[in-house]
Structure 1
């Protein structure tokens, strides 16, 4: 009995210390893509909740970030609860988000004049908790800022999705600088899926997982998000060997 009482006291003290430190222990959960070739590259089998993840456009899409935004929107669509979307440029097309499963009724838009205000709103929303996801469009993400956002996400258990959008193509090199993000993705547009008859097939993207903590990077040719926010892996790129390119990630 004495041992049991002592264990209860120690457990209570640990909980109090975690509360004082602002780091309450939470069960680790993930949001899987439900595509084994992708999920097996991610620790825990999916994108970690309570963490931030980065997305940027590749090639000409580095400035508009359209494919990266839709990829992130599809992820947010598969969460439960409201989604806060923080941005400084008023060019987000809500009907496009709805097409990838993120209904307007779920989205709370926070539009700021300056990027530092976007980051402030992004961090505050992450700390709030009880949200499905928080999305933030930013140009720069310094390491110190990304660490603060990561701690906010860890504290609430909310998934944070950072979309990097640059004003000029030359600024895209900033994506090479390290951040505290759990994963980093580059989404580039590919020719649409070929059809046996004249017409435009499903949009295709090259999804480059260029950094993942405790894992390996990989490239995937995927079908764009459907009306439920789900992607598909194209058969000629889905055997996990020859067609899907992987390199060792030191991060």
Structure 2
């Protein structure tokens, strides 16, 4: 092989490598983000959360405790990816120390104060297609099915997880009742913490319900809430029961 031919082939190989890195496949398609808890990952169809996908969470009940738990659940997922996280919301009412306690430090956060749900969804879609962010988190009350399809396609294109917090419009509303293209849908509730041998408050616990997943069954667990390393934990002796009796959204 003469030097010129070798050079051409080398350049072609380098271009192919660069294109692979810039493609959705190189940025996250097929990649999975496990929780690191066998009892949870073993129930997920992909062995974890698909990176290039839309995932939704909602508070199991109205009120601040469950709303906070659902918010921190998504924050912990986003925190476990390297890089900046874009958080799109109607108004900036997040409690930064609380997010930091779940592993998402303030220096990693970019806020987009959007006002309307339509703008939140548009910002999420644009950020996902960019492909340079660790995750996109958005909060919205009204999310049409068509918008979830666009978010799923944008997540696949950018190789970035889309994490959508479905907020209530009414106190008695089920935010996950509407159809969605999300790969997983979760209901999160606060749960009693473990009793301590002395006076005090133990590590917070959540009731984490996988309401629906593509290619798998629902399930639910009692888990210890995310710590400063964005890790959830399985309490010793906790009971885990199939979530088939829960209403699949």
Q: 1:140 matched to which residue of 2? A: 142
Provide TM-score, normalisation by structure 2: 0.85
The question of whether the paired residues in 2 share the 8 Å contact of 1:62 and 1:166 is answered with no
Q: 2:117 matched to which residue of 1? A: 115
**Secondary structure of 1:56's partner?**
strand
In the alignment, the residues of structure 2 paired with residue 214 and residue 74 of structure 1 have an alpha-carbon distance, to the nearest angstrom, of 24
Q: How far did residue 91 of structure 1 move?
A: 1.3
Pick aligned residue for 1:50 from 46, 49, 52: 52
**Secondary structure of 1:233's partner?**
coil
Q: How far did residue 194 of structure 1 move?
A: 1.1
Q: 1:245 matched to which residue of 2? A: 242
In the alignment, the residues of structure 1 paired with residue 64 and residue 216 of structure 2 have an alpha-carbon distance, to the nearest angstrom, of 25
1:235 counterpart = 2:236: yes
Q: How far did residue 89 of structure 1 move?
A: 2.7
Instruction: Flag structure 2 segments of 5+ consecutive residues without an equivalent.
Output: 1-15, 17-22
Pick aligned residue for 1:30 from 29, 32, 40: 32
The question of whether the paired residues in 1 share the 8 Å contact of 2:54 and 2:152 is answered with yes
Q: 2:203 matched to which residue of 1? A: 202
**Secondary structure of 2:202's partner?**
coil
Note the alpha carbon deviations across 1:104-128, whole angstroms, 9 max, x for none: 1111000012111111111100111
Q: 1:25 to 1:225 in 2, by over 3 A?
A: closer
Listed as ranges, the matches of 1:45-84 within 5 Å are 45-61=47-63, 65-84=67-86
**Secondary structure of 1:169's partner?**
coil
Instruction: Flag structure 1 segments of 5+ consecutive residues without an equivalent.
Output: 1-14, 16-22
Q: 2:43 matched to which residue of 1? A: 41
Structure 1 stretch 129-138 or stretch 55-64: which is displaced more?
55-64
